[in-house]
Amino acid sequence: MKTESSKETTDYYKHLSLFWTDIMHLMASKPQALTSIGPMRAFTSNSKKISTELIEINEVLGEFNQHYTEYYKQLADTWSIAQKKVNHKSQKVPQDVEQIDSLKRVWLDIFDNDFTELFDSGRFGENYGKLVSKELELTKHWNNITNVILQSVNLPSKEEIDEVYKEIHSLKKRVTKLELELKKKGRVKNAK
């Protein structure tokens, strides 16, 4: 019932957001509109894309939070169970160095076994995979928003900037290689 109410609320805000972005788009398409000047016109016409991305981010963020909570719940539950096992095995407080070392070994063995079981379990792996997947989806949406904003102000996208950095890196390597070859040739000529 809670998720149904949450879904209705999300749908309501999605509808409301798209309504207002449509209104802004209509206003921006009129020549007399204030937003028809320069980058604001481009930004306003792209605002629907940004709103849609933000709505999708909210939906993905909800799912991400569910998997994130489950991830830490599994870790906390495993820790709690392992600690209870250690406490059960060592009823008395260690009095000397040998007892402390023995307790350390017991603690390490139990925690190692319990956490290995957790990390090998299908339930943990499935949840962790979904967590990473949702994180990648969030990154994709943020990159899309960034690209829309950069296009609106007539700047290169992140991908275009990355491409320039790769080319600069490649050119630096080539220049370094050529400089080394020139130094070697200079030494050979000086030696003759």
Asked if residue 141 lies in contact with residue 56, where contact means CB atoms within 8 angstroms, the answer is yes
At 152, is the pLDDT very low, low, confident or very high (cuts 50, 70, 90)?
A: confident
State percent of the chain over pLDDT 70. Answer: 82
State percent of the chain over pLDDT 90. Answer: 42
Q: Tens digits of per-residue pLDDT, 107-134?
A: 999 999 999 999 999 999 999 999 999 9
Q: What is the mean pLDDT of residues 59-78?
A: 94
pLDDT of residue 174: 95
Q: How far is the CA of 137 from the CAs of 105, 131, 151, 182, 185, in angstroms?
A: 42, 10, 21, 48, 53
Q: What is the pTM (predicted TM-score) of this model?
A: 0.62
Q: How many Å apart are CA 58 and CA 154, to the nearest integer?
A: 27
